[in-house]
C-alpha cells in the first residue's frame, strides 16, 4: 500500500507499507537511487543480487534477515527481492528520487541526473 497516492503533489518520495504473505515476493531494481527498508513488525528476508566487487563480471547474491525495528539499504543499481513469511510481518519501503518534483512541476533548467 502506498503511503502517498499517485495524485499526491510530492513526486520525489515513493513510500510503501507492506504486509507479508508467504506466497508474495517483492522484487525491484533502482538504477540511480538506494532503497531503504524499515521493519515495523516481524521479520523479512532481503536478497540482493549484483556484480561481484572484484570486477570479474560474475553475479553474486547476499541474503539479509531484518528483524523488528531493523533497517537495511539496498545500494543503487542492485536488484533485490523481499519475502515476508507470514501475515505478522509489516515493513516500510522508502525510495527518494531527487529532483523528480522539478520535472513534475515543470521548473526551468531541469536536467535528469538519474534514470529510473
pLDDT tens per residue, range 25-63? 666 766 678 889 999 999 999 999 876 555 566 678 999
The set of cell numbers assigned to 98 is 531527487
Q: In the 8-state DSSP scheme, what is residue 49?
A: E
Structural domains in the chain, sorted by start: 25-104 (2.60.120.10)
Question: Between vectors from CA 71 to CA 65 and to CA 74, what angle results, nearest 5°?
Answer: 80
Flag whether the pTM goes above 0.75: no
pLDDT digits (tens, 9 = 90+) for 70-94: 999 998 888 888 888 777 899 998 8
Quick check: 102 and 111 in contact, CB under 8 A? no
Amino acid at each position: 500500500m502506498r503511503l502517498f497516492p499517485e495524485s499526491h503533489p510530492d513526486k520525489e518520495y515513493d513510500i510503501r507499507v507492506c504486509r507479508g504473505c508467504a506466497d508474495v515476493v517483492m522484487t525491484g531494481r533502482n538504477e540511480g537511487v538506494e532503497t531503504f527498508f524499515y521493519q515495523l513488525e516481524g521479520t523479512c528476508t532481503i536478497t540482493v543480487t549484483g556484480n561481484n566487487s572484484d570486477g570479474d563480471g560474475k553475479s553474486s547474491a547476499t541474503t539479509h534477515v531484518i528483524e523488528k525495528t531493523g533497517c537495511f539499504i539496498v545500494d543503487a543499481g542492485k536488484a533485490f527481492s523481499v519475502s515476508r513469511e507470514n501475515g505478522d510481518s509489516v515493513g516500510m519501503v522508502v525510495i527518494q528520487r531527487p529532483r523528480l518534483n522539478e520535472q513534475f512541476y515543470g521548473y526551468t533548467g531541469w536536467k535528469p541526473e538519474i534514470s529510473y
